[in-house]
Amino acid sequence: MKLAALAVAVSLALAGAAPARADDTLYTAEGYAIGMRVSPSYTAAAELEQGALATLNGLLHGSELATLHVLIETPEEVARDCGSADALACYAANQMIVPGAQVEDGPPVPFLVAHEYSHHILAHRRNDPWFASDWGTKRWASVMRVCPAVRRGDLFLGYWTIPAEAFAQSYAAMLFPDVNYAWGYAFQLRPSDAAKTAIREDVMRPWNGPAVTRVSGRLARRGRRAMRLALPLDGNAVFAVKASRRVELVLLDGRSVVAKAHGRRARVTTSVCGQRRLTLRLGAPEASTSYSLTMSRP
């Protein structure tokens, strides 16, 4: 199939669509209302709509499905409205434009629908402090070590190294394993069993923000408490303490100090980027003190 034709999937702005029939409303198996339009170039509009609906019903999805609009056009109209002669389909602003017929040597239409639908999923997911529409979903991006790769300068060097595009292709390939395709995206983002598990979790149980925990206790003078922190996801981590006396708060990666602060109110932050375990150390260098510690982790 012509993988190069997928290079316009999500980043293209949708040009003005061709004149089309008025929107039809179709209902999914779960009762979500989906708006659809079919190009006047096709006469079998109802058949094409039902085919698209059947594909959408079979996709792994969440409640974001209710906000989708589908425009079905001829392959030539798709290329025109997606803004590239190589375009097979595209997505932006809750709308996907897909062909009503398979292009010669191209992937099946349901595979294209799945690829574009994954961009709709990304548009409705969080991956703070980044955008899921660029980096992919939270668990998937963490499993695929997107952040360390970006810091090394290995990604965002063109379409084939955009994490969100690799996510979209992985999602479609996972749902249509019988479709033959060559992996043309960044080598380090190729699908794995862990990646597939992460995709399923991110679709069905979206990450909605950091996990916040609070602990309290008391430290003797010159006493210390060390906590080993598990950090399965990348993102911002914040640790803040309130104490009755001056305390010292230190965040460590092995023996290396990541951040430290001191006072009756002390706060340290870090961007978790591939590290999976850190140590937080709390000490009372001057006097016995009670404390309350709040930990916010991605």
Q: List the chain pLDDT tens, one digit each, 298 residues.
A: 333 334 344 333 343 444 445 689 999 999 999 999 999 999 999 999 999 999 999 999 999 999 999 999 999 999 999 998 889 999 999 999 999 999 988 999 999 999 999 999 999 999 999 999 999 999 999 999 999 999 999 999 999 999 999 999 999 999 999 999 889 999 999 999 999 999 999 999 999 999 999 999 999 999 999 999 999 999 999 999 999 999 999 999 999 999 999 999 999 999 999 999 999 999 999 999 999 999 999 9
pLDDT at residue 224, as a whole number: 93
Domains of the chain from N-terminus onward: 3-204 (3.40.390), 211-297 (2.60.120.380)
Chain CA centroid to CA 267, Å: 29
Rounded to whole angstroms, the Cα distance separating 253 from 156 reads: 28
Contacts of 185 (CB under 8 A, 6+ apart): 160, 161, 165, 166, 169
What DSSP letter does each residue of 174-194 carry, written as one string? HH-TTS-----S-GGGS--HH
pLDDT at residue 160, as a whole number: 95
Q: What is the CA radius of gyration of the chain?
A: 24
- In the 8-state DSSP scheme, what is residue 44? -
At residue 268, the 3 state secondary structure works out as strand
At residue 260, the 3 state secondary structure works out as strand
pLDDT at residue 21, as a whole number: 55
257-291 burial: b if 16+ Cβ within 10 Å, else e: ebbebeeeebebebebeebeebebebbbeeeebeb
pLDDT at residue 105, as a whole number: 87
